[in-house]
Structure 1
């Protein structure tokens, strides 16, 4: 791994931590989770933007397969692995640790770290970054709206549905295709394992999201009790 990329990761962890502290200082009445999700929304938007810029050919976003990563792709991935390290540590400080989320973070950190170390698979990895982060702003918006007092409102339901639709299209349509091309290309075993692991976690989350949306829609249709 290039020395400057290691510096990017270290600097990135410090920058994301500083951003959280800044958000926390200007929103003192908001919860730890609210401030962290605000930082996560900033990262998701930045990650999608940087991943889009680093695509070499939009006619084939995952091409060239198994090739040497470009400097722009390496920098984009370094920004995200720094965020993932920050966010994983942040979850422990908030005492809000979930097994599936921790596994997702660890798989992503190891997978992206391997890609940075090998300096290859940049096309596949920025595509994976785009797919995984495109729905994240809506994921965090759902929780932010609840703390702002919009729980069980039409606005919150719209955020739920938008998140579910975008997640499904990205993770369950684009995700399997990206997993297939990553597994069949001449990529290191660790990269292939990361792609498969990420898709398995996405499938598990899809199951949970489908149940959530079904519950909310049934709840909205249920007749209100007359008191």
Structure 2
């Protein structure tokens, strides 16, 4: 299975890069970020599907704890690992480098790699993948809509609110529970450290999202009063 995982990772990095280059060639007027976010949306959708298909028991989705990744789980994790490597490299070529995003990528890459190398934590990592990617399509939709000319519209506000709600429930309710389970189980120390680090990054982003939503709603209320 190790060779298959390696093939998925290498093939995935190449595939995501090719999709990005095709986007850049097909839509030359669109920005670097627009094309990258389109690829990211495709990955998020694929990641949630693969993670969902790899759950062994939906009555207890993170069981068995500290277990060897099943072939389906390994495939889901390898596909996301390939995307994270591509996206990290892609972000470094962008003009705007987000430090917190780079940290998130490094933490995720380290955690998934450790799970695949140690052959542990399959259920927890897939659950983390599902939780973290569930809100991603709405995250990218917010920015894509702005470039398509829908900034400050009801549609863009709906995407903002949907993203904020899904992110908050997934990362600030499901995330702490999953982190606790990962720390309680017999997982390698590096995975436990990465689980805590990922939750800290999520908490920081939650703070930023709360400020964003407050600003958007205040701005919308003020605009209506002055209209």
Q: TM-score range by the shorter chain?
A: over 0.9
- Distance across 2 between alignment mates of 1:14 and 1:223: 46
Partner residue of 2:216?
216
TM-score normalised over the length of structure 2: 0.97
Partner residue of 2:99?
99
Query: Does the 8 Å contact 1:41/1:137 carry over to 2?
Result: yes
Query: Does the 8 Å contact 1:176/1:199 carry over to 2?
Result: yes
Partner residue of 1:70?
70
Deviation at 1:225, TM superposition (A): 8.6
Equivalent residue runs for 1:109-188 within 5 Å = 109-188=109-188
Q: Provide closer, same or farther for how the CA distance between residues 43 and 223 of structure 1 changes in structure 2, counting only shifts above 3 A.
A: closer
- Distance across 1 between alignment mates of 2:9 and 2:81: 7
- Distance across 1 between alignment mates of 2:15 and 2:132: 22
Deviation at 1:71, TM superposition (A): 1.0
- Distance across 2 between alignment mates of 1:226 and 1:205: 31
Partner residue of 2:45?
45
Deviation at 1:22, TM superposition (A): 1.3
Partner residue of 2:195?
195
Partner residue of 1:22?
22
- Distance across 1 between alignment mates of 2:69 and 2:223: 56
Partner residue of 1:84?
84
Corresponding residue SS for 1:222: helix
Stretches of structure 2 that go unaligned for 5 or more consecutive residues are: none
Deviation at 1:6, TM superposition (A): 1.6
Query: Does the 8 Å contact 1:74/1:119 carry over to 2?
Result: no
Q: Provide closer, same or farther for how the CA distance between residues 223 and 186 of structure 1 changes in structure 2, counting only shifts above 3 A.
A: same
Deviation at 1:82, TM superposition (A): 0.4
- Distance across 2 between alignment mates of 1:83 and 1:213: 28
Give the number of aligned pairs: 227
Corresponding residue SS for 2:59: coil
Note the alpha carbon deviations across 1:6-53, whole angstroms, 9 max, x for none: 222111100100011112222121111000000000000000000000
Stretches of structure 1 that go unaligned for 5 or more consecutive residues are: none
TM-score normalised over the length of structure 1: 0.97
